[in-house]
Amino acid sequence: MSIAAKFEIEYLQYLDAEGQQVRDALPEFAKNLEHMVELYKLMISTRVFDAKSVAMQRTGKLGTYASCLGHEAAHVGIGSAMKPEDVLALSYREYGAQLYRGVQPREVYMYWGGDERGNDYQNEPARHDFAWSVPIGTQCLHAAGSALAFKIRNEPRVAVCCIGDGGSSKGDFYGAINIAGAQNLPLVAVIVNNQWAISVPRKIQSGAPTLAQKGLAAGLYCIQVDGNDIIAVRKAMEDALERARSGQGGSVIEAVTYRLSDHTTADDARRYRDEAEVKEAWAKEPVKRLRAWLVAKGVWDDAREEAWKAECDEWMDNEVNAYLQTRSQPVTAMFDYTYAEVPADLAKQRDYALSLESK
């Protein structure tokens, strides 16, 4: 038998569920414990932020909200590996990556609170990132297009897209990795496989044993990592970003994690999945293992944890207040950004809508 091509998919993990180091050689960034503490702190603040968001939805202060509970290592790992000049195109729950890149919690609240200004991120580098993409998978092609722009202009920048296990079934995802392979684009596609696309489990999305291997068909570098292990996510991201930046092409990273929350606040996951499965997933969640590792290294303890959580609470309360005090946009806002200039015909509708305001 002759073989036309042969492939394998590496699986990467540094920390197991208990926070035990399963590989001896740590990547450079992980040797900097101060930095690892910073990443841990952001995972905590992401979780505090997320709990606050869900609570606000439950009390009628937010619309439907998509929680990121359980994804903290994957998202912070993605965001922290990127350079400021890179571009992030995400779906709608990657807050850990976004907070790292300067998105303010009040902006997230505004978006899910029904105000487009939440997409107008004020801080760099998030300011040049894409806004949340609700139509599943479509953002992958925006990242591919951005990567093409970087290649055309010969800029050492990388476009990163995040997608879920369900999203990796979409043609937009396949199209993005396909053109990235064909044109050798600086694209890193991260499949954050949280096992559930609303009520549909991972095994119904694809017969492939890994989702990472989808990238093989496109000619990309592929790896599967423990998505609850931030060291593994960050390392895979750094490698993929470096490859892309140095002209060696795109990558697909599958970060295997678990959606500990409902799909959104409008969903009730108890309808379709076993409590036992969720309980098992909680045992592998990302925050606990990193804490155990940092505590063992002597750079973290309960007192610091309590102090930081208190700081996060204060931060989020501040953000919540800022959000709640934001006045609605004037009715004219819906007209004013539809085109660069309001066309004459649309201006008449704008005038009419405005006239209703004074009645």
Partner 1 sequence: MAQITLIEAVTQALAYEMAHDDSVVVLGEDVGVNGGVFRATVGLQEKFGPLRVLDTPLDETTIAGVTVGLATQGMKPVAEAQFEGFIYPMMEQIACHAARMRTRTRGRLTVPAVFRAPWGGGIRAPEHHSEANEHLFTNIPGLRVVLPSSPARAYGLLLAAIRDPDPVVFFEPKRIYRQYKEEVPDDGEALPLDVCFVLRDGTDVTLVTWGAQVKECLEAADALAEEGISAEVIDVATLTPLDFDTIAESVTKTGRCVIVHEAPKTAGFGAEIAARLAEECLYELLAPVERVTGYDVHIPLFRLEMKYLPSVQRVVDAAKRTLAVS
Residues with catalytic roles: 259, 263, 272
Closest to partner 1 by CB, 44 vs 141, is 141
Q: 36 in helix, strand or coil? A: helix
Q: Which span (66-74, 307-315, 319-327, 336-344) binds partner 1, by CB under 8 A?
A: 336-344
Interatomic CA distance for residues 10 and 239, integer angstroms:
13
What string marks each residue from 170 to 209 as x (binds partner 1 by CB under 8 A) or -? Answer: -xx--xx-xx--xx--------------------------
Closest to partner 1 by CB, 111 vs 293, is 111
Q: Is 33 exposed, middle or buried (0-12, 13-18, 19+ CB in 10 A)?
A: middle
What element of type H or E holds 12?
Answer: strand 10-12
User: Residue 15 gets which letter from DSSP?
Assistant: B
**Of the residues 84, 114, 135, 330, which one makes contact with partner 1 according to CB under 8 A:** 135
Closest to partner 1 by CB, 127 vs 270, is 127
Find the shortest distance in angstroms from Cβ 214 to partner 1. 15
Interatomic CA distance for residues 284 and 326, integer angstroms:
39
Footprint on residues 217-256 left by partner 1 (CB under 8 A): none
Q: Which residues contact 249 (CB under 8 A, 6 or more apart)?
A: 180, 181, 184, 185, 186, 219, 220, 221, 243
Closest to partner 1 by CB, 32 vs 355, is 355
Under rule CB under 8 A, residue 162 binds partner 1: no
In the block, which residue shows the tokens 């476009």? 159
**Of the residues 274, 275, 345, 357, which one makes contact with partner 1 according to CB under 8 A:** 345
Find the shortest distance in angstroms from Cβ 146 to partner 1. 5
**Of the residues 36, 103, 144, 232, which one makes contact with partner 1 according to CB under 8 A:** 144
Strand (E) positions, 83-220?
A: 87-89, 159-164, 187-193, 196-197, 200-201
Closest to partner 1 by CB, 111 vs 258, is 111
What string marks each residue from 315 to 334 as x (binds partner 1 by CB under 8 A) or -? Answer: ------------------xx
Under rule CB under 8 A, residue 272 binds partner 1: no
Interatomic CA distance for residues 332 and 351, integer angstroms:
8
Under rule CB under 8 A, residue 107 binds partner 1: no
> Residue 2: how many CB atoms within 10 A of its CB?
3
Interatomic CA distance for residues 72 and 95, integer angstroms:
8
**Of the residues 116, 124, 301, 314, which one makes contact with partner 1 according to CB under 8 A:** 116
Q: Which span (51-59, 252-260, 261-269, 338-346) binds partner 1, by CB under 8 A?
A: 338-346
**Of the residues 49, 121, 196, 221, which one makes contact with partner 1 according to CB under 8 A:** 121
Q: Token digits for 327? A: 């006045």
What string marks each residue from 60 to 89 as x (binds partner 1 by CB under 8 A) or -? Answer: ---------------------------x-x
- Give the dihedral sign, CA 52/55/61/63: positive
Does residue 174 contact residue 167 with C-beta atoms inside 8 Å? Answer: no
Interatomic CA distance for residues 262 and 66, integer angstroms:
8
Closest to partner 1 by CB, 173 vs 293, is 173
Q: Is 113 exposed, middle or buried (0-12, 13-18, 19+ CB in 10 A)?
A: buried
Q: Token digits for 79? A: 């965001």
Where on the chain is the footprint of partner 1 (CB under 8 A)? 87, 89, 116-117, 119-121, 127, 130-131, 133, 135, 138, 140-152, 159, 171-172, 175-176, 178-179, 182-183, 333-334, 337-340, 343-346
